[in-house]
Amino acid sequence: MTVALTACGGDEDPDAGTNGVGKLSAAGIEKRAKAAAESADAVRLSGTLVTDGQTYKLNMSLKEAGGTGSVSSKAGGTFELLRVEDELFLKADADFWSHPDDKGGDGASTPPSAADAEAAGKLNDKYVKVPEDDPAYDQLRGFTDKSVLLDGLLGLHGKRGKGDRGEIGGVRTIEVNGSEGTGGSLNVSLEGTPYPLQLARAGDAGTLTLSDWGKDFPLEAPTKGETVDYGSTLPST
């Protein structure tokens, strides 16, 4: 009878049927999540990223050999990026390439010239190869580099703590945070491999969802008919 009462009265184990990381310390969970992320061959990253005063919306599929997807910002519009090894390509519509400039003395923008508009039309929905010595190359490449993005995004700041358990996309998770959330928070899967599934960056610098861990995707350079070689540098816009 005592055994039966003990069994019936015991609290349900919140870690039953999980991968067990919920029993670890906050630092231990963070360490396991980073290790899982580093070992994965591929990942899809989507959401918002705030950097250098700009807010970007990302939807990128990434792996060691490169990445593909879209990036958008209020200032720059939407463009697609494709990187295969060191070859980086950018695709956008004509409006992206023909933003008005702000050279007017009163701060007013000046519409693009006819020549600029014509040039932009030739780039419309074509992949433009980004020269490696172009100032934009390193910045744009960063959006396609799995290691660079994850190393820069997954770090928390401040004293580590464990937050609530929850679900993301039907997968049970546990939160680990820095400085009770002001230093960012990371929701880690309690099922299977303890991948990070959602990141809220410190300082309201964006929230990102990480999915499709380990799922490969096709990655091929565009054909010549799809590509425009603009030369040594991209248009200044």
Q: What is the CATH number of the domain that holds 32?
A: 2.50.20.20
Tally of CB atoms within 10 A around 175: 19
The pTM for the full model equals 0.83
- Domain residues for the domain of 42 are 17-221
Cα-Cα end-to-end distance for the chain: 79
- Token pair 């990036």 is found at 71
pLDDT number for residue 231: 62
Work out the burial of residue 68: count CB atoms within 10 Å of its CB; fewer than 13 is exposed, 13-18 middle, 19 or more buried.
buried
Residues in the chain, overall count: 237
Among 198, 166, 169, 144, CA closest to 33? 198
**Residues 174/185, Cβ–Cβ less than 8 Å:** no
pLDDT number for residue 20: 95
Residue 4 lies in a domain: no
**Residues 43/149, Cβ–Cβ less than 8 Å:** no
User: Partners of 92 in the beta sheet?
Assistant: 126
pLDDT number for residue 97: 80
Kindly give the confidence (pLDDT) of every residue in the chain, 237 residues in length, as a single tens digit, with 9 standing for 90 and above: 444 444 454 568 888 999 999 999 999 999 999 999 999 999 999 999 998 888 999 999 999 999 999 999 887 789 999 999 999 999 998 888 876 555 444 555 566 566 566 667 778 889 999 999 888 899 899 999 999 999 888 889 999 999 999 999 999 999 999 999 999 999 999 999 999 999 999 989 999 999 999 999 999 999 988 988 766 566 655
Cα 218–Cα 194–Cα 214 angle in degrees, nearest 5: 10
Residue 81 lies in a domain: yes
pLDDT number for residue 11: 65
Residue 74 lies in a domain: yes
Q: For the chain, how many structural domains are there in total?
A: 1
The residues, any chain, with a CB within 8 Å of residue 85's CB and separated by 6 or more, are 65, 66
